[in-house]
Structure 1
Amino acid sequence: MKEESPKAIFYALAANFGIAVCKFAAAAYTGSGSMFAEAIHSTADCGNQLLLLFGLKRAQAPANALHPLGSGREIYFYALIVALLLFFVGGAFSVYEGAHRIVHHEPLSNPLVALVILGISVMLEAFSLTGVVRKIKKISGNKSMWLWFRETRESELLVVTGEDLAALLGLATAFVAVLATMLTGNPAFDAAGSIGVGILLMIIAYLVAREVKSMIVGESASPEVRKAIDAHLCGRSEITRIISLITVQWGKHVIVAVQAEMIEYASGREMIDAINIIEDDLQRAFPQVRWVLFEPDIARNKA
């Protein structure tokens, strides 16, 4: 799945670019505030996906003296920027646009065109989101989407999912708003739809930013990966007891720090050889583990 993240971003970029062009044309033709808000949202999404692709490229930079563990976590920075853009460019602007139209009572013309564009966009976004959800289910098993959202360490996939969900719900809101305006002749529904889209975008942007902020601060590997690493180490005949196990997610890689009691060895060299074997086997079993810091120790009872 990790290799498929850039592919998912490219698909989303192509889809959002086409949708944005259609929305801007429909907004100019109909004067719909909801449609204009949706066009701005799709444009922002295009910029967001370009930022994610740039962040993924930057995260592949090799380690150097300044960044001895590499730049894997740089993708978190760009994911946070994307969440902020989704909040301010997408959400706040949509709220402003809706409030402006309520104050000035701007009418809506040719709402049927807006409904057709929105309907097509809903189907495209639903297709895109279905593909993303299918990929998520493939890697998360029986986890609920909310649990995956809280536990995933793939910031770029998290952002793409949040954008797709926001886009689909925003389109549905705009469709209802334009339809209500067409049936009643009251442009306030369209303006209210723009405000509703904006509030929705800001809520999802906040949730995404909260998760990405946690990654920036420093999260462990996902619970299932940490549990599997712990079980692997506990099953080693060279180890009598795990005193401490710390995992840190570093972009697509994982740092593992182990403090463990070892069996008796005739010499320090034999213990070092045993630790090297443990580290090599751990990295073979878990390819995402890039660094292993192993400390043999004796558990100290606290008074």
Structure 2
Amino acid sequence: MSHGADSLKSILFALFANAAIAVAKLVAAIITGSGAMMAESIHSFADAGNQSLLILGLKLAKSPPSEDYPLGYGKAIYFWSFIVAIILFSLGGMFSLYEGWHKLGHPEPLSSPLIAIGVLVFAIVAEGISMWGCLREVNKVRRGRSYWRWFRESRQSELLVVFGEDLAALAGLVFALCAITLTLVTGNPVYDAAGTMVIGTLLLIIAILIGNEVRALLIGQSADPVVQDEMKAWLKQRPEIQHTFRLVTMQMGADIMVAIKAQMKETGTEIGMIEAINSVEAEFKKQFPGVTWLFFEPDNAD
């Protein structure tokens, strides 16, 4: 994947973990009648489906350019990431809120709550492994930034989605465990219903945050700010360039489109300037392998 992080590996970690967790949660929800457990089960099934959509998006994004899509299909991954955010919002967040509201109005005692607790502990361990796999890839591209800043600046929508889903899943599992434990200790099923609604609210917040970041990528964001700074510094030290007037970038999935407007140093001949530009372009692509399209405009003023 681009930027040094293997997004597919993170997605596969999450897919296998969520598939196993979803089945375990569903069985526990049916046995215990827990609304929080049912909400968590739907959440995990939705997550497993989401990861399948991300894999599809990554595959479609690699399709070669065509006459209708001369810059390729790289942004396809943004579309599927946005669909995932919608699913997380609707099937995850809204269903959990509905389930919690229903349980508040019609509270039912839990049966075999210890089974639910055991499944939740297993799920926390499995989801923790998935989160570890995701963080390992995130740390390859975070470059010293906080996780929040990386989340706001990253251009890898698929990695953003997996990170957000795993974070929401871990937090949701902890809330569900607390809710069921309180219900077991007090005998009051209201705690289970309240936990379900907290999980729903958490999922809605995460889905909105992910959707907002992917929306920006769909509209057309520049490359990662850290990468842009590296590009500017690289151009500044090139002996062929007198001054860089403008650097415009656009992230296209795993690929980057770059347009440069610069004043070249005098070479004495037109051929010499062309050779200098060709040299800069070739070295630029070596330095930044994610750059697929590079447009260079020599000029003496902006």
Do the structures match in fold with TM over 0.5? yes
2:198 matched to which residue of 1?
Answer: 196
1:271 matched to which residue of 2?
Answer: 273
Q: 1:1-150 to 2 correspondence within 5 Å? A: 2=2, 4-150=6-152
Deviation at 1:134, TM superposition (A): 2.5
| 2:89 partner amino acid | F
Q: Report how many residues are paired.
A: 300
1:211 aligns with one of 210, 213, 216? 213
2:254 matched to which residue of 1?
Answer: 252
1:294 aligns with one of 293, 296, 300? 296
Deviation at 1:265, TM superposition (A): 3.1
Tell me the secondary structure at the aligned position of residue 256 of structure 2.
strand
Report the Cα distance in structure 1 between the residues aligned to 2:249 and 2:140, rounded to whole angstroms.
24
Deviation at 1:270, TM superposition (A): 2.1
Report the Cα distance in structure 1 between the residues aligned to 2:83 and 2:301, rounded to whole angstroms.
44
| 1:116 partner amino acid | G
Tell me the secondary structure at the aligned position of residue 71 of structure 1.
coil
Deviation at 1:40, TM superposition (A): 0.2
Tell me the secondary structure at the aligned position of residue 148 of structure 1.
helix
Tell me the secondary structure at the aligned position of residue 281 of structure 1.
helix
TM-score (norm 2): 0.97
Whether the aligned pair in 1 keeps the contact of 2:10 and 2:137 (CA below 8 Å) is no
Q: Deviations over 1:260-299 (max 9, x none)?
A: 1112233322211211111011001111111111001112
1:161 equivalent in alignment to 2:163: yes
Report the Cα distance in structure 2 between the residues aligned to 1:115 and 1:174, rounded to whole angstroms.
9
Report the Cα distance in structure 2 between the residues aligned to 1:231 and 1:16, rounded to whole angstroms.
43
| 1:278 partner amino acid | V
Gaps of 5+ in 1: none
Q: 1:213-232 to 2 correspondence within 5 Å? A: 213-232=215-234
Report the Cα distance in structure 2 between the residues aligned to 1:7 and 1:243, rounded to whole angstroms.
39
* Deviation larger for 71-80 or 262-271: 262-271
Deviation at 1:135, TM superposition (A): 2.3
| 2:294 partner amino acid | V
Deviation at 1:158, TM superposition (A): 0.6
Whether the aligned pair in 1 keeps the contact of 2:7 and 2:137 (CA below 8 Å) is no
Report the Cα distance in structure 2 between the residues aligned to 1:284 and 1:222, rounded to whole angstroms.
18
Report the Cα distance in structure 2 between the residues aligned to 1:170 and 1:286, rounded to whole angstroms.
39
| 2:194 partner amino acid | A
Gaps of 5+ in 2: none
Tell me the secondary structure at the aligned position of residue 130 of structure 1.
helix
What's the Cα RMSD here? Answer: 1.1
Report the Cα distance in structure 2 between the residues aligned to 1:230 and 1:290, rounded to whole angstroms.
17
| 1:4 partner amino acid | D
TM-score (norm 1): 0.96
Tell me the secondary structure at the aligned position of residue 72 of structure 1.
coil
Superposition misfits of 4+ residues, deviation over 6 angstroms: none
Report the Cα distance in structure 1 between the residues aligned to 2:146 and 2:171, rounded to whole angstroms.
19
1:283 matched to which residue of 2?
Answer: 285
1:185 matched to which residue of 2?
Answer: 187
Report the Cα distance in structure 1 between the residues aligned to 2:201 and 2:55, rounded to whole angstroms.
27
2:235 matched to which residue of 1?
Answer: 233
* Deviation larger for 259-268 or 162-171: 259-268
